[in-house]
C-alpha cells in the first residue's frame, strides 16, 4: 500500500509561504486599522458638525428670544414705574398752579426726581401750568434751568392737554441737539363745573442713555439693540444715519436691500407679536429677534436684539475644535496602539520564521525518509499482489485434483461390501471432502480478491429476470439446507471455517421468505453476470442465516427503485444488528462482524455490485431487531422496465 505525501508537501509549502507573507499581511491590516477610522472620522465628523451647527444655532436663537423678551419686559416695567411716580405727583397737586411754588411742593418734586433718576436716566423733571409755562424745572447740576419758559408749542404738551391722559412723546431733538422723548401725566383738578386741565408733570429722557442701560447700542460687530417706536421710526441703532428714519422709508430699505424676510418680521413685532429673522446687513449675516413693549396695553415700542451669525459660528467652531481634538486624540492613541501591535507582531513573526525554517528543514528530511519508505512499501505491495495472484492460480489445479480424488474415494467406499471397514473410512472421507471444499472456497476467494484489486474481473453479462433468478437461488439454498439437515453456505466461505471447526450446532428452524413487491406482470430485467450475482446473493444469505435467531425468518425482497431506473434487492435478518463502530467500515477488506472468517465476502460483494454499475449498503432495522443488507442494479438498457 503506497503512502500519500501530497498533503504533507502542501502543508509544508503553504506554511512557509504563509509565514513569508506575514509581514505584508500585518502591514496591510495595520493600514486598514489606521485608514478606516480616519475615513469614518472624516465622514462622521462632517455629519456631526452639521448636527452641532444646527443644534447650537437653534439653541442660540431660543436663548436670544428669551433675552429679547426679558429686555422688553424690563423696559416696560421701567416705563410703568415712571408713569406711576408721575401719577402720584399729579394726584397730590389739587390747587391751581402758581409761580412761585411753595417750598414743600418743590421739595416733594425734587425728591421724586432723585428717586426716578436712581433707576432710569432722566435729563430733567418739570411742572407746567395749564398754559404750558414751566413753573418748576430741575435737571443735572450745571444744566440750564427752564423755569418760566413756555413749552406750549411742543406736540406732547398739546396732546396731554387735549386728551388729559398720559403721553409718551415721539423722539425729538432738544435745544442742545440731543435726542430725547418726554413722558407726561396730566394734572386734573375739580371745581363746581367738574374736572378741568390744571397743567402737567413730566420728565425728559435722553434716548441713548436710557436704552444703552439694556444693552449694546453702538458696536454693530457685536450683539446690539435696536428700538423702534409705534410709527416704525428707528430710535436706537448702531448706524447713526438710520436713527430717526422710518424703517420702511426709501433710505432704510435701500440699506437693507429690501429684505422681505426682515420686513415681514418687523411688521409682525410692531403689530404686537414676537418674531425672528436671519438676513444680511452691510454684507454680514445676522440673527434678529424682536419683541413688542406694551405701555397701557398697547404696543408702544419694539425692541430688537441683533447678533452677527459669525459670532454664533465662532462659538460653534470652538466647540467643534474641542470635539475634533478629542477625536484626534482618540485616533492618535489607537494608531499608537496599532503601531505597538505591529512592532510586537513583527517580533513574533521573526521568531516564528526561525521556528518555521527549522520545522521546514525537519519536514523536508522526514519527506525524504517517507518517500524512500513509500517506495519500499510499494514494492512490497506489488510483490504481495503478485504472490497472491500466483498462489491463487497455482493452488486451483491441486485443489481440483483433491476434490476429484476425494469424490472417487467416497464412491469406492460406497460401492464396497458393507462391513466394519466401510464405517471405519466413512467419516475420514467426509472430513477430507469438507476440508477440500473449504480449501477450494478459500482459493476462489483469494482469486476473486486478486482479480478485483487488479481490476481484472471479467463479467459475462446477459439479461437476467431478477424475480426468477432470486427465486431459483432461494429455492436451491433452502433445498440444500433441508437435505443436509443443517444450515451452511451454498458456496462454503472461509468465514465459516472457525465455527465449523468449533463444532457449532446447526440451526434447523430458519426459513427464507421471498417477497416480490411489484404487482405488475412485467419482469424486472438487469444486465449482469449470473455467477457473480449469485455469489453476492449467497454471501448476503450466509450473513443473514449466521445472525438470525432460532425459529427466525430471513426475508428477501425484490422491488423497483423510487426513480423506476433500478432493481433493489434487500435481505433482512432478526439478529442483534451491526455494531455502530463496525457499520461504516463493513465493506472494507478484513472487517467482520463475527469472530470467525477473514472478512472478505462483503468486500467481494461490494466490488461485484459496483462493477455492475450498482450500489450496496447495510443498515440496522428501525425496530432495533436485526439488520438489512441491500443492493441496487440498473435496469438493462435493452429492456428497461417501464411502469404502466
Range(s) within the chain of domains with CATH label 3.30.450.20:
22-347
pLDDT of 534 reads 92
β-partners of residue 301 are 229, 293
**Under CATH, which number does the domain 458-634 receive?**
3.30.565.10
pLDDT recorded at residue 251: 92
Read off the pLDDT band of 6 (50, 70, 90).
low
Q: For the domain 22-347, what is the CATH code?
A: 3.30.450.20
* Average of per-residue pLDDT across 128-132: 92
Residues 125-146 have a mean pLDDT of 89
**Rounded mean pLDDT of the chain?**
80
What average pLDDT score do residues 332-348 get? 77
Rounded to an integer, what distance in angstroms lies between the CA atom of residue 95 and that of residue 532? 151
pTM above 0.75, yes or no: no
Q: Which residue has the higher pLDDT, 134 or 29?
A: 134
Mean of the pLDDT values across residues 605-623? 91
What pLDDT sits at residue 592? 67
For 202-233, write each residue's pLDDT tens digit: 999 999 999 998 999 999 989 999 999 999 99
* Grid coordinates belonging to 83: 408713569
Q: Is the pLDDT of residue 392 over 80?
A: no
- pLDDT of 96 higher than 90: no
Q: What is the DSSP string of 588-604?
A: STT--SSSSS-S-HHHH
Per-position DSSP letters for 265-331, written without gaps between them: HHHHHHTT--EEEEEEETTEEEEEEEEEEEETTEEEEEEEEEEEHHHHHHHHHHHHHHHHHHHHHHH
Question: What's the pLDDT band for 381 if we cut at 50, 70, 90?
Answer: low
Q: Tell which wins on pLDDT, 367 or 185.
A: 185
Domain with CATH 3.30.565.10 in the chain: 458-634
Higher pLDDT, 22 or 324: 324
Q: Would you tell me how many other CB atoms lie within 10 Å of the CB of residue 348?
A: 12
Digit-coded pLDDT (tens) for 488-547: 433 333 344 433 333 343 444 567 888 887 766 778 999 999 999 999 999 899 888 888
pLDDT at 594: 60
Give the model's pLDDT for residue 168: 93
Q: Give residue 508's pLDDT.
A: 43
- Say what the pLDDT of residue 77 is: 92
What pLDDT is stored for residue 45 in this prediction?
65
Q: How far, in Å, CA of 201 to CA of 596, rounded? A: 139
Higher-confidence residue of 152 and 381: namely 152
Residues 209 and 199 sit within 8 Å (Cβ to Cβ): no
pLDDT on residue 3? 44
Distance CA 440, CA 455 (A): 22
The packing angle between helices 22-92 and 103-119, to 10°, is 170
Amino acid at each position: 500500500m503506497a503512502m500519500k505525501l501530497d498533503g504533507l508537501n502542501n502543508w509544508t509549502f503553504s506554511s512557509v509561504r504563509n509565514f513569508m507573507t506575514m509581514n505584508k499581511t500585518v502591514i496591510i491590516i495595520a493600514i486598514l486599522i489606521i485608514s478606516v477610522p480616519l475615513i469614518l472620522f472624516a465622514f462622521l465628523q462632517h455629519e456631526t458638525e452639521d448636527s452641532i451647527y444646527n443644534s447650537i444655532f437653534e439653541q442660540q436663537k431660543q436663548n436670544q428670544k428669551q433675552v429679547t423678551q426679558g429686555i422688553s419686559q424690563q423696559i416696560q416695567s421701567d416705563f410703568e414705574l415712571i408713569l406711576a411716580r408721575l401719577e402720584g405727583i399729579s394726584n397730590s397737586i389739587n390747587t391751581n398752579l402758581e409761580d412761585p411754588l411753595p417750598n414743600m411742593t418743590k421739595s416733594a418734586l425734587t425728591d421724586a426726581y432723585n428717586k426716578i433718576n436712581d433707576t432710569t436716566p432722566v435729563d430733567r423733571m418739570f411742572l407746567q401750568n395749564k398754559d404750558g409755562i414751566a413753573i418748576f424745572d430741575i435737571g443735572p447740576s450745571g444744566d440750564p434751568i427752564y423755569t418760566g419758559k413756555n413749552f406750549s408749542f411742543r406736540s406732547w404738551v398739546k396732546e396731554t392737554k387735549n386728551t388729559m391722559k398720559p403721553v409718551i412723546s415721539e423722539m425729538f431733538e432738544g435745544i442742545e441737539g440731543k435726542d430725547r422723548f418726554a413722558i407726561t401725566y396730566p394734572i386734573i383738578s375739580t371745581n363746581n363745573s367738574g374736572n378741568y386741565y390744571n397743567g402737567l408733570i413730566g420728565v425728559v429722557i435722553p434716548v441713548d442713555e436710557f436704552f444703552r442701560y439694556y444693552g449694546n447700542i453702538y458696536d454693530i460687530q457685536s450683539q446690539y439693540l435696536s428700538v423702534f417706536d409705534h410709527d416704525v421710526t428707528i430710535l436706537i441703532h448702531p448706524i447713526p444715519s438710520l436713527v430717526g428714519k422710518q424703517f420702511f422709508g426709501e433710505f432704510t430699505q435701500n440699506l437693507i436691500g429690501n429684505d422681505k424676510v426682515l420686513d415681514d418680521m418687523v411688521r409682525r413685532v410692531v403689530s404686537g407679536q414676537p418674531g425672528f429673522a436671519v438676513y444680511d446687513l452691510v454684507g454680514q449675516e445676522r440673527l434678529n429677534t424682536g419683541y413688542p413693549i406694551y405701555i397701557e396695553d398697547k404696543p408702544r415700542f419694539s425692541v430688537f436684539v441683533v447678533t452677527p451669525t459669525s459670532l454664533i459660528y465662532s462659538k460653534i467652531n470652538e466647540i467643534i475644535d474641542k470635539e475634533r481634538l478629542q477625536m484626534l486624540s482618540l485616533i492618535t492613541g489607537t494608531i499608537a496602539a496599532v503601531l505597538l501591535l505591529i512592532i510586537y507582531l513583527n517580533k513574533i513573526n521573526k521568531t516564528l520564521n526561525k521556528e518555521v525554517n527549522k520545522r521546514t528543514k525537519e519536514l523536508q528530511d522526514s519527506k525524504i525518509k517517507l518517500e524512500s519508505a513509500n517506495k519500499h512499501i510499494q514494492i512490497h505491495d506489488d510483490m504481495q499482489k503478485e504472490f497472491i495472484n500466483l498462489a491463487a492460480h497455482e493452488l486451483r489445479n491441486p485443489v481440483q485434483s483433491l476434490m476429484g480424488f476425494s469424490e472417487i474415494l467416497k464412491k469406492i467406499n460406497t460401492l464396497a461390501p458393507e462391513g466394519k471397514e466401510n464405517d471405519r473410512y466413512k467419516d475420514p472421507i467426509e472430513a477430507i471432502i469438507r476440508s477440500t471444499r473449504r480449501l477450494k472456497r478459500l482459493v476462489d476467494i483469494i482469486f476473486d480478491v486478486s482479480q478485483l484489486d487488479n481490476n481484472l474481473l471479467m463479467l459475462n453479462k446477459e439479461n437476467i429476470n431478477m424475480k426468477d433468478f432470486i427465486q431459483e437461488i432461494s429455492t436451491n439454498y433452502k433445498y440444500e439446507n433441508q437435505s443436509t439437515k443443517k444450515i451452511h453456505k451454498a458456496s462454503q466461505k472461509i468465514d465459516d471455517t472457525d465455527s465449523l471447526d468449533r463444532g457449532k450446532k446447526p440451526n434447523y428452524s430458519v426459513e427464507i421468505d421471498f417477497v416480490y413487491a411489484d404487482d405488475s406482470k412485467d419482469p424486472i430485467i438487469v444486465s449482469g453476470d449470473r455467477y457473480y450475482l449469485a455469489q453476492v446473493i449467497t454471501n448476503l444469505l450466509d450473513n443473514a442465516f449466521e445472525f438470525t435467531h432460532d425459529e427466525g425468518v430471513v426475508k428477501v425482497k425484490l422491488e423497483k427503485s423510487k426513480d423506476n431506473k433500478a432493481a433493489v434487492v434487500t435481505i433482512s435478518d432478526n439478529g442483534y444488528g451491526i455494531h455502530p463502530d463496525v457499520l461504516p467500515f463493513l465493506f472494507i477488506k478484513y472487517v467482520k462482524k463475527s469472530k470467525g472468517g477473514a472478512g472478505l465476502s462483503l468486500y467481494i460483494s461490494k466490488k461485484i455490485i459496483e462493477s455492475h454499475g450498482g450500489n450496496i449498503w447495510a443498515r440496522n432495522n428501525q425496530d432495533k431487531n436485526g439488520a438489512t443488507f441491500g443492493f441496487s442494479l440498473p435496469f438493462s438498457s435493452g429492456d428497461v422496465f417501464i411502469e404502466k
